[in-house]
Amino acid sequence: MNTFRKTPPAKSVMFLVNYDDGRTAYLWVDDPARATDTWAVGVIAQAQQEQGTLPEGTITSIRRVR
C-alpha cells in the first residue's frame, strides 16, 4: 500500500517580468504547452500589457519562476 500521493502538475506557469526602470511584475500563463515557447510568452506579455493586467513599460526580461 502506497501512502504517498503524487502532486498533480501545476496548471499554470508563473513568470517574473522585469522592466527597464527596475520594476517587476508577475505573469501567469494558463497553458503549460505555450509556456515552454519563449516567443509565445513574450506575445502573451504584450497582450496583457494592452489589456491592462500588466503595467505599461519596456520589458527587459521574462524569467520563469514556477
CA gap 39, 20 in Å, rounded: 19
Q: What's this model's pTM, rounded to 2 decimal places?
A: 0.77
The residue among 40, 46, 44, 41 whose CA lies nearest residue 59 is 46
Backbone angles phi, psi at 32, to 5 degrees: -60, -25
pLDDT tens-digit readout, 11-51: 889 999 999 999 999 999 988 888 888 899 999 999 999 99
Name the region of 57 (left: φ>0; alpha: ψ -120 to 50; beta: rest): left
